[in-house]
């Protein structure tokens, strides 16, 4: 407050001086140069003082500790740790994940109670000047003594008491234990960045402890690399399409394929699992899905040229709900026209995520169907299956998810569930595809069921476009050899 008052006084003096200078200038009096210099120096001194004051006030705000825990802040951590090596220290972060829920249930007046409670628990692990409150209800402990994962969890084991004696609230901590790699992270700010990512990581949300080790850092760095380079990869045409054949169970021949995206960068091929979700988050998925669609038309054109494109042959290509939201049917029609491809050779694969956004996507689905392109429901599983949705979405084909395919050693219940699902789908007028068939045993297990097509490593892994074209040519040769054997005169 004193600083503020002083500031007001000085500002007033400053205003008076400026007013004097203007008045003197206006009155056309000639002043001695010395007076002007003194006035100017005064103004400069004031400005410097003001800058220092602003800096001090900012620092003061930044250094403010939580009044209920009084733990040092993130800025004190930076100050304390900038020149300190973490090499021989135990470093871990704890975040109380359900803090906001408790406050929501008990009201803001409960903040001091919960903060005090958390403080007491943390003090069982470390001294107060080793516990930094790096964000709201998130603490970083830098200690000299080792601590076990269990010891940290034990501290949060018992629920806390509410206002009402009968009410208790469990605390759900998320713990990030920094392993030896902490030594390799260049500074504390970078380390906090990694800790933030680890705290937000929900991959293993049943287990509240994440090890921030070399593997985790590599994962984050790789993800950052993909994030930064995906756009360029699209421009450099590094996003390619592989094709995996689909076999007709009745005709024992390849009657189609699925287009699957691959990022081919120098010698390595990146799986779509690593970039499709990033592409969805950035909107780049629209470009990727259209690349797969164009490549699908390319392949069909090549098959047509080598006369291996049968009437029934169909390629399916995956469309994200984001793509469906951002394209119109005429874009697809243009691509089809450019390649002179009949749309009945193409289908798009959608997932239940499309069904969840049905209202906003129904028009585009209708327009795509009107072009003559068919719709396949991908990743259909016993758990989420909603049969009534299939006709609503205009689905022609259902792909049963590989997660429900019975695997060895075969379990009686798994087989019963799979057979039941196939029987249900068979009762509808729908093409059924079994996905993820890997072994002869799995193939034999399902080959008598009313399934139309099978797809999986048992038939073939996905491969590049040229390989697929060659495979179709060799199948044709093989078939004509067979015909010759059967009809020796021809």
How far is residue 301's CA from residue 306's CA, in Å, rounded to a whole number?
Answer: 9
CB distance 395 to 376 below 8 Å:
yes
Query: Which of ligand C2E, Ca ion, none does residue 260 bind to, with CB < 5 to 8 Å depending on kind?
Result: ligand C2E
Query: Residue 199 or residue 395: which is nearer to ligand C2E going by CB?
Result: 395
Binding residue for Ca ion (CB under 5 A) from 115, 133, 289, 379? 379
Within 10 Å of residue 125's Cβ, how many Cβ atoms? 20
Query: Residue 133 or residue 379: which is nearer to Ca ion going by CB?
Result: 379
Burial of 477 (0-12, 13-18, 19+ CB in 10 A): exposed
Q: Which range of residues in 267-275, 281-289, 300-308, 312-320 is near Ca ion by CB under 5 A? A: 312-320
User: Counting contacts by CB under 5 A, is residue 349 touching Ca ion?
Assistant: yes
CB distance 295 to 240 below 8 Å:
yes
Site string for ligand C2E, 286-325 (x = CB under 6 A): --xx--x-------------------------x-x-----
Taking CB atoms within 8 Å and a gap of at least 24, the contacts of 96-99 are 96/137, 96/138, 96/156, 96/171, 96/172, 96/173, 97/172, 97/173, 97/174, 97/208, 98/169, 98/170, 98/171, 98/172, 99/136, 99/137
CB distance 450 to 419 below 8 Å:
no
User: Counting contacts by CB under 5 A, is residue 318 touching Ca ion?
Assistant: yes
Query: Residue 260 or residue 373: which is nearer to ligand C2E going by CB?
Result: 260
Binding residue for ligand C2E (CB under 6 A) from 69, 117, 261, 296? 261
In the structure encoding, which two tokens stand for residue 169, read together?
């609230």
Site string for ligand C2E, 373-412 (x = CB under 6 A): -----xx----------------------x----------
Query: Residue 308 or residue 320: which is nearer to ligand C2E going by CB?
Result: 320
Residues recorded for the chain? 490
CB distance 114 to 99 below 8 Å:
yes
| Nearest-approach distance from CB 461 to ligand C2E, in angstroms | 7
Distances (CA, A) of 402 to 243, 244, 306, 399: 18, 15, 33, 9
| Nearest-approach distance from CB 318 to ligand C2E, in angstroms | 4
| Nearest-approach distance from CB 436 to Ca ion, in angstroms | 8
How far is residue 351's CA from residue 320's CA, in Å, rounded to a whole number?
Answer: 8
Vertex 455: Cα angle to 204 and 307 (nearest 5): 140
Binding residue for ligand C2E (CB under 6 A) from 162, 272, 463, 464? 272
| Nearest-approach distance from CB 402 to ligand C2E, in angstroms | 5
Closest to 359 in 3D by CA, of 410, 316, 415, 321 = 321
Binding residue for Ca ion (CB under 5 A) from 133, 289, 295, 378? 378
| Nearest-approach distance from CB 468 to ligand C2E, in angstroms | 14
Query: Residue 133 or residue 349: which is nearer to ligand C2E going by CB?
Result: 349
| Nearest-approach distance from CB 452 to ligand C2E, in angstroms | 17
| Nearest-approach distance from CB 276 to ligand C2E, in angstroms | 5
DSSP string, 401-439: PGGGS--SSP-HHHHHHHHHHHHHHHTSS-EEEE----S
DSSP string, 268-336: EEE-GGGTHHHHHHHTTHHHHHHHHHHHHHHHHHHHHHTT---TT-EEEEE--HHHHHH--HHHHHHHH
Site string for ligand C2E, 429-468 (x = CB under 6 A): -------xxx-----------------xx----x------
Q: Is 185 helix (H, G, I), strand (E, B) or coil?
A: coil
Residues 161-190 that bind ligand C2E (CB under 6 A): none
Query: Residue 260 or residue 341: which is nearer to Ca ion going by CB?
Result: 260
CB distance 443 to 437 below 8 Å:
yes
| Nearest-approach distance from CB 302 to ligand C2E, in angstroms | 19
Query: Residue 378 or residue 452: which is nearer to ligand C2E going by CB?
Result: 378
Q: Is 210 helix (H, G, I), strand (E, B) or coil?
A: strand
Binding residues with ligand C2E: total (CB under 6 A): 23
Query: Which of ligand C2E, Ca ion, none does residue 296 bind to, with CB < 5 to 8 Å depending on kind?
Result: none
Query: Residue 135 or residue 402: which is nearer to Ca ion going by CB?
Result: 402
**Contacts with ligand C2E, residue ranges (CB under 6 A):** 244, 260-261, 271-273, 276, 285, 288-289, 292, 318, 320, 349, 378-379, 402, 436-438, 456-457, 462
**Contacts with Ca ion, residue ranges (CB under 5 A):** 318, 349, 378-379
């Amino acid at each position: 407050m004193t600083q503020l008052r002083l500031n007001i006084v000085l500002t007033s003096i400053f205003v008076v001086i400026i007013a004097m200078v203007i008045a003197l200038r206006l009155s056309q009096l000639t002043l001695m140069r010395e007076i002007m210099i003194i006035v100017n120096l005064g103004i400069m001194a004031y400005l410097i003082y003001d800058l220092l004051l602003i800096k001090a006030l900012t620092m003061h705000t930044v250094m403010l500790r939580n009044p209920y825990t009084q733990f040092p802040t993130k800025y004190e951590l930076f100050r304390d740790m900038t020149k300190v090596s973490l090499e021989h220290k135990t470093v871990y972060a704890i975040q109380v994940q359900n803090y906001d829920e408790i406050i929501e249930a008990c009201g803001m007046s409960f903040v001091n109670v919960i903060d005090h409670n958390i403080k007491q628990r943390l003090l069982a692990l470390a001294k107060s000047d080793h516990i930094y409150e790096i964000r709201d209800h998130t603490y970083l402990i830098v200690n000299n003594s080792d601590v076990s994962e269990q010891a940290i969890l034990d501290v949060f084991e018992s629920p806390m008491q509410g206002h009402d004696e009968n009410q208790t609230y469990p605390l759900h901590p998320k713990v990030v234990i920094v392993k030896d790699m902490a030594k390799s992270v260049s500074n504390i700010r970078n380390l906090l960045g990694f800790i933030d990512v680890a705290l937000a990581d929900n991959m293993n949300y049943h287990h509240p402890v994440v090890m921030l080790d070399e593997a985790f850092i590599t994962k984050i760095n790789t993800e950052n690399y993909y994030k930064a380079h995906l756009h360029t990869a699209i421009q450099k045409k590094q996003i390619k399409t592989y094709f995996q054949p689909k076999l007709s169970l009745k005709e024992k021949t390849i009657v189609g394929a699925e287009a699957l995206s691959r990022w081919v960068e120098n010698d390595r091929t990146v799986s779509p699992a690593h970039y499709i979700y990033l592409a969805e988050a950035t909107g780049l998925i629209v470009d990727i899905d259209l690349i797969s669609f164009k490549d699908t038309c390319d392949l069909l054109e090549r098959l047509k040229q080598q006369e291996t494109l049968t009437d029934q042959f169909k390629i399916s290509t995956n469309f994200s709900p984001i793509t469906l939201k951002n394209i119109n049917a005429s874009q697809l029609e243009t691509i089809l026209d450019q390649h002179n491809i009949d749309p009945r050779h193409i289908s798009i694969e959608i997932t239940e995520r499309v069904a969840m956004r049905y209202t906003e996507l129904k028009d585009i689905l209708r327009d795509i169907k009107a072009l003559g392109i068919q719709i396949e429901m991908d990743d259909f599983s016993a758990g989420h299956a909603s049969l009534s949705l299939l006709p609503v979405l205009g689905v022609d084909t259902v792909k049963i998810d590989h997660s429900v395919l019975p695997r060895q050693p075969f379990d009686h219940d798994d087989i019963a569930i799979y057979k039941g699902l196939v029987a249900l789908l068979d009762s509808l007028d729908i093409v059924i595809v079994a996905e993820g068939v890997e072994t002869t045993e799995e193939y034999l297990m399902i080959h008598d069921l009313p399934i139309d097509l099978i797809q999986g490593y048992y038939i073939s892994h996905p491969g590049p476009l040229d390989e697929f074209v060659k495979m179709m040519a060799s199948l044709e040769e093989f078939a004509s050899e067979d015909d010759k054997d059967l009809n020796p005169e021809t």
